[in-house]
């Protein structure tokens, strides 16, 4: 099977390449050679690669910046998906818990009605719609990896620079290791899954819980030389341009029946930080 990965240099794109199953040939063009916002470039790249599957791991993910750049977010997160869908024999589109408003009190099912409250969420929902009914659309949340810009790296930097770190404690979701997500995508592709699926690692956490765990695991591995106080705060104490879902937990029951239940997010965090230590050794 030949698989073309858009966004191959990103944290999910790298994880997909690292975990590709036997018998899969990955085509991973550089961003400059595969402009997904250009119909001509997409048509040329897909014709040349002749893939069986196209995985779109590219996205505009700057949630706050999107509020000031809605046209760019729409072009990358929605219009580009329509272009990929028009030229792909089979499209896999990665989406987000941000398509929901975060007002629920139980995990969001795949048939729950989306109602995004940010430009990022609205453009990602538009991307789901643009992918079409034949696509595999996988919503996930709070993705991080040993490489790339993400919450884990931000927390490690702040914990080294500051005497305390203040982190929102009233937004609940699930941290998801990019490596775990990549494995799930390969499992779903292998069985020919289509339509909406939800996947994250197991368990739930607040951003505060996640930050505390990052510090504890990083200290144990020697990635941090000291502990600093991690202070829980409310969302209203840390205003941002974009609204965030207060509750972004996804119901993964159907997907986990296919992929198997993944490890708890804290176990995956430990693996990620061990990889980061190896990369920086």
Q: How confident is the model at residue 281 (pLDDT cuts 50, 70, 90)?
A: confident
Q: Strand 136-140 and strand 143-144: pairing?
A: unpaired
CB 243 within 8 A of CB 168: no
**What is the Cα–Cα distance from 149 to 145, expressed in whole angstroms?**
8
**Number of domains the chain is built from:** 1
Residues annotated catalytic, as ranges: 120
Instruction: Using the CB atoms, write b or e for 3-28: b if 16+ within 10 Å.
Output: bbbbbbbbbbbbbbbebbeeebebbb
Range of the domain at 65: 2-280
pLDDT confidence tier of residue 218, bands split at 50, 70 and 90: very high
Give the pTM: 0.97
pLDDT at 31: 87
Angle, helices 119-131 vs 80-87, to 10°: value is 10
CATH of the domain at 155: 3.40.50.720
Quick: pLDDT tens for 155-187: 999 999 999 999 999 999 999 999 999 999 999
- The predicted-structure confidence for 10-36, as pLDDT tens digits, reads as follows 999 999 999 999 999 999 999 888 999
């Amino acid at each position: 099977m030949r698989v073309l990965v858009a966004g191959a240099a990103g944290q999910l794109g790298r994880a997909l390449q690292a975990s590709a199953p036997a018998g899969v040939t990955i085509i991973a063009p550089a961003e400059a050679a595969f402009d997904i916002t250009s119909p001509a470039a997409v048509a040329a790249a897909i014709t040349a690669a002749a893939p069986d599957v196209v995985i779109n791991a590219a996205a505009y993910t700057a949630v706050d910046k999107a509020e000031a750049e809605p046209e760019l977010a729409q072009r990358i997160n929605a219009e580009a998906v329509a272009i990929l869908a028009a030229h792909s024999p089979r499209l896999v589109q990665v989406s987000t818990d941000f398509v929901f408003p975060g007002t629920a009190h139980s995990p969001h099912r795949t048939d729950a009605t989306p109602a995004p409250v940010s430009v990022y969420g609205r453009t990602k929902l538009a991307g789901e719609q643009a992918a079409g009914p034949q696509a595999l659309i996988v919503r996930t949340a709070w993705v991080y990896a040993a490489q790339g810009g993400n919450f884990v790296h931000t927390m490690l930097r702040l914990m080294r620079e500051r005497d305390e770190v203040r982190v929102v404690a009233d937004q609940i979701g699930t941290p998801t290791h990019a490596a775990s997500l990549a494995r799930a995508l390969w499992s779903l592709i292998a069985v020919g899954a289509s339509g909406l699926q939800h996947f994250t690692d197991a368990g739930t956490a607040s951003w505060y819980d996640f930050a505390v765990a990052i510090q504890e695991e990083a200290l144990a591995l020697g990635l941090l030389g000291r502990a600093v106080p991690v202070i829980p705060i409310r969302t209203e104490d840390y205003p941002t341009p974009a609204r965030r879902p207060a509750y972004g937990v996804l119901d993964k029951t159907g997907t986990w029946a296919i992929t198997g239940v993944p490890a708890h997010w804290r176990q995956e965090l430990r693996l990620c930080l061990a990889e980061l230590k190896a990369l920086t050794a």
